[in-house]
Every structure is written in C-alpha cells, then in structure tokens.
Amino acid sequence: MRVLHELGHRPRIFHMNEGHAAFLISELYASLNHIHSFDEKKSIIRSLCSFTTHTPVAAGHDSFNKYLLQAQAGNQIPDDIFNVACEGEKFSMTRLAIVFSGYTNAVSRKHRDVSRAMFPDIPIDYITNGIHTVTWTDQHIASMFDKHIIDWRTNSLELRNVHKIPLEEITAAHQKAKQELIDFVNTTMNAGLEYDIFTIVFARRATAYKRADLLFRNIDRLKDISRKYGRIQIIFAGKAHPRDTQGKEIIKHICATIEQLAPTIKMVFVENYNMYIGHLLTAGADLWLNTPKRPLEASGTSGMKAAANGVPSLSIPDGWWLEGLIEGVTGWAIGSEFTTSQSDQEIDDLDANDLYYKLEKVILPMYYATPEDYALVMRNVIAINASYFNTHRMVKQYLVRTYTRNN
C-alpha cells in the first residue's frame, strides 16, 4: 500500500484473495489514526475492502499462534484488530479479512453455502470461478470455432452458437487433439496408448480430499468393465506438495496400480505435470474424471478447461459441477450432492459403485455404440458450460458486485 501511494495511486477498492493479504487491514487502520472511533474506522475500511474466500479446507486458511504473532509483529497490529481476528489461541487471517470487508464472496454457489456455515455471522455471496477460454482451447478446436463462431475469442458467450457446428466437425477436431495427447504420452512415457480407445483422464494436485485413487476401489470390476462394455485406457497426472506425505503416497499407489490393471487396461502416470501437459490433457481426454470428497471442492476449474474443448465430465456433484451439470446432457454425476452415509469408507464405496455403473451402463455404451450421441454431449458441454464458466463472465460479475459497489 505504501508503494502504491509513493507511485501516486489511490485505490478505491482493495480486493483480497484469500487471507494472505489481510495485513492490508492493519495498514489501512493505521492510515486512519486521525479518527478515534473504532466503529467509524471499521466502516471506512469495509467500504474500501472486498474479500474472496477460496476453500473450505482448513489448511487453506492461514492462522498463527497469537502470542507468536504478537512477538513478531510488535505494534504493527493494533489491539482492536488483533482482538477481532483472534479465535481462541489463534490469529485468523481469514476472519481478519472477512470482518473488515464490505463484500465477501465464495467461488461457487455450493461453496457459498459451506462458507456461510463456517462464518455464520457474515453475509457471503458467490461468484463462480471461470477459466480463460482462449488460453485453454486446443488449437484444433479453436480453428473450428474461428470458422463458425464470430467473436468467440473476445466474447465467450458466443460459444452457445456451437450448435451450428456439425457433430462430425466437433468429433474430427477432438480426435486431432486426442492424437496429440496420445503421441506425447507415448513418446515421453512409452505408454503404448491407442487412438481409438476411450481415454479417461484425471489430473489434479495430489492431496487426500481429491480421492485420486477412487477409480481403483475395485480393480477387478474396472477390468471387467473394460472387457465387457468397451475398452478403456487411463492417464493420470499431478503433483503433491513437498510436505504432503499422504499426497505422495497416493501417487505411489496409483503408479503401483498400473501393473495390476495390465494387460487389460493400459494406464500411465505422466511425470513433470505442468501447464503445457495440463493443456494437452484437458483437450485430448474423452472423459474428464473428478472425485473430490464433498463438500471440499470449493469450485474446481479443470473440468471447465475440459469443457472449452468439448470434453464431458464424470464428477462428484460439488463445487462448480453442481451448476454446470445437466445429467446426460453436459456430463454425468457420481453420486448425489448430499450423502446420508456416516463413514468415509461407506461414502467411498457408494461413490465408486456409482462411478462404475455410469461407465458400464451409460458412458461406454454411448461412446462405442452411438458415437453421435456422445458427440452431442460434447457439443452441449461447449454451448452450456464453456459459454458460461469463463473469465469473461467472472470478471464482469466482480466488476459489478465488488469493484463498483460504492458507485
């Protein structure tokens, strides 16, 4: 804030993403030292600040031992602010930001409900995340859009006009993207994947709540599905935080499963996961798989990237997918939004069973027996999801609800 002032900038609104930036509040508070009323200072700061909370996962909310913070910060944090932000022995950065912000939003409708339960004394809105469409659309898909849809690059809403594109063109463009993915994986990993086999992709940060290994709950049944209902091949990718031991173990388990699935199902874990590989995966998959533990998926964006390329999702109804899911039209749900089961074991079993059921009874028969129906789902996911879950819409909502709210 001091640097901005030295440069001659006087921001009208400060937008804090997560609590990491919340010490801004202390600086704003100090700038109002000519005002003696705490309530008046708080009111002024709330008129200047907006806050976005991004996760219900506890590790995503910074908190510090209040005595340690007092020792380190000295008089940089006024007592009034310190007392507001403390929850027992912890100083909560999220509470500091949320109490002193005039507008707070979550990043999906479901996440709003979860956040309201976490902070019942705070009014919380939602603005669902979006992805930058042009960045995440494969070159072959983009060329197809350029041919048929004017202005899609500057107005993602125009993608609803994808209904004008013949299904065979969508299928052909996707097949080119898929071949690029298969070629990359085979060249770098010697995986032996094939162009004409149904390809499931799972690519995430490896952490426990994302349940990357749910697909392998019953390996014998998975192999049986591939034998009886249509051949499948699987691509995994992801990285664990260096200090996330559980996440690393999940990757080890997935890699060990490769031999158990062979030779019935070919599977590969792509190393050195990065944005380039992510681009190939979201464009070249036939099905995007997402299996988070409810309700910990605040939004999720990988399925949105897949949607920009016409790739349907098979996902837990949580986060953005609750808003983007039209069963059988834009993709498929695994289980329901709510579960009455009490134990993680029961929930995992139920979700895995539903995942297998959707593959064997709905998705694979459609892909292999009635490919035109599968292509229709691909077109729907572009028209309905890619046209909405993008940064064009998202930033406009932030502009109206957050940045111009005092005008």
Domain boundaries in the chain? 2-129, 133-389
Cα–Cα distance between 251 and 371 in angstroms, integer? Answer: 33
Strand partners, 16: 51
Lowest mean pLDDT among 204-213, 276-285, 322-331: 204-213
pLDDT at 318 over 60: yes
Q: Which helix (H) or strand (E) holds 202?
A: strand 198-203
The alpha carbon torsion through 350, 356, 360, 365 (nearest 10 deg) reads: 110
pLDDT at 342 over 70: yes
CATH architecture of 2-129: 3-Layer(aba) Sandwich (3.40)
Report, in this order, helix, strand and coil percent for the chain, each rounded to 5.
Answer: 55, 15, 35
Cα–Cα distance between 23 and 35 in angstroms, integer? Answer: 19
Cα–Cα distance between 51 and 126 in angstroms, integer? Answer: 11
Decide if 2-129 and 133-389 have a common fold: yes
Would you state the structure tokens that stand for residue 210, as one six-digit string?
């994302």
What count of other Cβ atoms lies within 10 Å of the Cβ of residue 384? 20
Predicted local distance difference test score (pLDDT) of residue 407? 47
Among 232, 225, 209, which residue's Cα sits nearest to residue 347?
209
Q: Give the contacts of 311 (CB within 8 A, at least 6 positions apart).
A: 174, 282, 283, 285, 286, 287, 288, 378, 381
Predicted local distance difference test score (pLDDT) of residue 207? 85
Cα–Cα distance between 225 and 264 in angstroms, integer? Answer: 10
Mean model confidence pLDDT for the chain: 94
What count of other Cβ atoms lies within 10 Å of the Cβ of residue 296? 21
At the fourth CATH level, the homologous superfamily of domain 133-389 is Glycogen Phosphorylase B; (3.40.50.2000)
Reported pTM: 0.93
User: How, if at all, do strands 103-106 and 125-126 pair?
Assistant: parallel
Mean pLDDT value of segment 292-311: 96
Among 203, 152, 200, 234, which residue's Cα sits nearest to residue 331?
200
What count of other Cβ atoms lies within 10 Å of the Cβ of residue 33? 9
Among 132, 130, 127, which residue's Cα sits nearest to residue 53?
127
Percent of the chain whose predicted confidence (pLDDT) is above 70: 100
pLDDT at 176 over 70: yes
Predicted local distance difference test score (pLDDT) of residue 340? 74
Cα–Cα distance between 223 and 330 in angstroms, integer? Answer: 26
Q: Is the dihedral of CA 103, 104, 108, 110 positive or negative?
A: negative
> Cα–Cα distances in Å, from 226 out to 6, 221, 301, 312, 359?
64, 9, 28, 19, 9
Yes or no: say if 188 and 270 are a contact pair by the CB < 8 Å rule.
yes
DSSP state of 400: I
Cα–Cα distance between 108 and 286 in angstroms, integer? Answer: 25
pLDDT of 109-137, one tens digit each? 999 999 999 999 899 999 999 999 999 99
Mean pLDDT value of segment 48-74: 89
Cα–Cα distance between 175 and 189 in angstroms, integer? Answer: 20
Q: Give the contacts of 231 (CB within 8 A, at least 6 positions apart).
A: 197, 198, 265
Strand partners, 52: 17, 105
Yes or no: say if 214 and 355 are a contact pair by the CB < 8 Å rule.
yes
Cα–Cα distance between 198 and 188 in angstroms, integer? Answer: 20
pLDDT at 58 over 90: no
Predicted local distance difference test score (pLDDT) of residue 406? 62
